[in-house]
Amino acid sequence: MDGPQLELVFWISQPVLQAAVAIVLYSRKLHKEFPAFFTFLVVQVVTFCIQFPIYLTQNPYYFYVFWAGAALNVVLAFRIIHEISIDVLRPYPALKDFGTALFRWAGIVMGLVAVVMICLEPHKASPTGSILIAQRCVDLVQCGLVLFLLAFCKSLKISWGRFSFGTALGFGIISGSELFTVAMYSGSFLYVMLTNLICMAAWNVGVLLWLGYALWYRKETALPVLVPQRWDEALNDLRPASSGDSLIPMFEHMVDRALSRAQNIHP
C-alpha cells in the first residue's frame, strides 16, 4: 500500500472510530458529564461527511470547508481543555474556581501570543495562517495539560483510569505529534506525505485510546485528599463574606488589581 492509499485509509478510519466513541459515550450516559468532548466527536464526524464528498469531486470549495472545520476545532479544543480541568478539580470547589479563573486568563494570554506571532510573520497573516498559529497554541496548551496531570496525578489522587485523564492523554498524543512533525517539516527533515501520515496515525492512536477508556471506564466518586484539600481550605479562607459561593470574582479582582499596580509602576 503506497502513501496516498494509506493516508486515505487513515482519514476514513478516523470518523468511524470517532463515531464509535460517541456511541459508547451516549449509551453509557457519559455525554452528560463530558458534553464538550461529545460535541467535538459529533462535529468531527459531520465535518468528514461534508468534506469527503467535496474532496472526491475535487471541488475548489474544499479549501474553505477544510479551514472552517479547522477553526471550529480550535474553539472546541479550548472548551474541552476547560472541561477536563474542571472534572479533575471537581472535589475541590475553591481550586475549581481558581482553575476556571486561571483558564480564562490563560486563554487571553494565548490569544495575545497568537496575535503577536501573526504580526511577526506578515506573510502568514492570512485566515489559514492565523488558524494554524491558533492551532499550535492549542497544541501547546493540550501538551501542558497532560504534563500537569502527570505531575500532579499523585498529589490529587487522579486515577489513570479516569476518563478525563484518558481524554487529555489522547489529545496529548495528537498535539505532541503535530508539534513534532511541524518542527521536523520546518527543518526539512520530513516531507509532506510522511508528515501527514504521522499526524493521521497519531489521531487514530488517540481515538483508539478514547474508545478504550470509554468502554472500560468505571465511574467512581472522587474523594478529597489531604494536601489539595488544604490548598482548597486556604483558598476558602481568602474568600470575602459577600462573594457568594464562587471565588471567580475574587480571583479576577486580584488579577485586575495586580495589573493596575504594574501599570502604575511602569507608566
DSSP SS3 for 2: coil
The Cα–Cα gap between 13 and 15 comes to: 6
C-alpha torsion 65→66→70→72, nearest 10: 20
Residue 247: predicted pLDDT: 46
The Cα–Cα gap between 240 and 76 comes to: 34
Asked if pLDDT for residue 226 goes beyond 80, the answer is: no
Phi, psi of 189 (to 5 degrees): -90, -20
pTM (predicted TM-score): 0.74
Mean pLDDT of 7-19: 94
Asked if pLDDT for residue 214 goes beyond 70, the answer is: yes
Asked if pLDDT for residue 108 goes beyond 70, the answer is: no
**Predicted confidence band at 204 (pLDDT cuts at 50, 70, 90)?**
very high
Name the most confidently modeled range: 97-101, 171-175, 258-262: 171-175
**Predicted confidence band at 20 (pLDDT cuts at 50, 70, 90)?**
very high
pLDDT in tens, 115-126: 666 666 655 456
Cell readout for 75 is 474553539
Q: Among 26-30, 31-35, 96-100, name the one with the lowest average pLDDT.
A: 96-100
Residue 262: predicted pLDDT: 44
Cell readout for 252 is 479576577
Distance of CA 167 to the CA centre of its chain: 9
The Cα–Cα gap between 196 and 4 comes to: 10
Cell readout for 266 is 511602569
Mean pLDDT of 126-144: 74
Asked if pLDDT for residue 250 goes beyond 60, the answer is: no
Residue 251: predicted pLDDT: 46
Asked if pLDDT for residue 14 goes beyond 50, the answer is: yes
Residue 235: predicted pLDDT: 47
The Cα–Cα gap between 62 and 52 comes to: 9
Asked if pLDDT for residue 61 goes beyond 90, the answer is: no
C-alpha torsion 17→20→24→26, nearest 10: 110
DSSP state of 189: S
Residue with cell 461527511: 49
